Amino acid sequence: MKIYKAADYKEMSRKAANIIASQVILKPDCVLGLATGSTPIGTYERLVSLYKEGNLDFSNVKTVNLDEYKGLPRTNDQSYYYFMHENLFDKVNIDPANTNLPDGMEPDSDKECARYEELIESLGGVDLQLLGLGHNGHIGFNEPADAFDKVTHCVDLQESTIEANKRFFASADDVPKQAYTMGIGTIMRAKKVLLVVSGEDKADIVAKAFFGPVTPAVPASILQMHGDVTLVADAAALSKIPQ
C-alpha cells in the first residue's frame, strides 16, 4: 500500500485527482470505478477543472459506480445517479452511454445484481477504483459482517450508515434502508484502488482498517490484501497510524 499524506482536504483532493487524471491520460479508454459521498466531491471538482483547462479528455472513458440506493428514482436529488451527473458527468465530455450505475428502481435484487456484475465483466473489469471509507470501515455499502460479500448484492443498511446519511434527507425515515453495491470481491478485482479519506473523525478507522487485522468486521481491511492500493489522506485522518 502506498500512503500519500496531504496537509488538508484541498491537497488530498488535488493529489487524488492527479492520480485519476494520470490513469485517463495513460489509458484514454480506461474503466473508472467511481464513488459518491462528501469526500470525493473535491476530487471531482479538480477533475472538472483539469478538463476545462484542456488537460483531460473523458470522451472514451467508461465508468461504473460502486453503489446506488434501492427504491430511489434517478430524478431524486439524493440518488447517486443524480450526484454523479451533478458533480462530474454533466461537467465533462464523457459519453452518458459510457456511464453505469446500479438501477435502484429494479425491484428484483437477484436480477439487477447479476446484470451489474456481468456488465463490469463485459467492460474488462475496473482499471482504477475510487473508494471512500465509512466510520465503521465500510467500502461501498459493504457493511461489517461475518464474511466478505464477493459480488454485487443488495444490502440492508446498518443504523450507523442510515444515521450518517440522514442529514441529506428530510428525516431519517426518508433514508433508503437498502442499496445495491459492488461486493468486496468485485472491488478486489479492480487493477488499482484509490482510497480518499479526510478528517480527524476517520483517524481511528484508518488505523484499524490498514494497520489492524484483516476481518469482515472491518470491510476495508481486506484492501491490505490487494496488490495496488493507494491511500490519499489528510494529516488529521492519518493522525493515529503507527509511525
| Positions marked active-site | 67, 136, 138, 143
Q: Which SS3 state, helix, strand or coil, does residue 195 take?
A: strand
8 class by beta-carbon count within 10 Å (0-12 exposed, 13-18 middle, 19+ buried): exposed
For residue 232, the Cα-to-chain-centroid distance in whole angstroms is: 13
DSSP state letter for 96? G
In the numeric block, which cell numbers belong to residue 83? 450526484
Contact yes or no for 94/58 (Cβ under 8 A): yes
Separation CA 181–CA 36 (nearest Å): 12
Specify whether the CB–CB gap between 121 and 75 falls below 8 A.
Answer: no
Q: Which cell numbers in the block locate residue 74? A: 434517478
Cell of 241: 497510524
Task: Give the separation between CA 220 and CA 134, rounded to whole angstroms.
Answer: 9
Helix (H) / strand (E) element for 137: namely: none
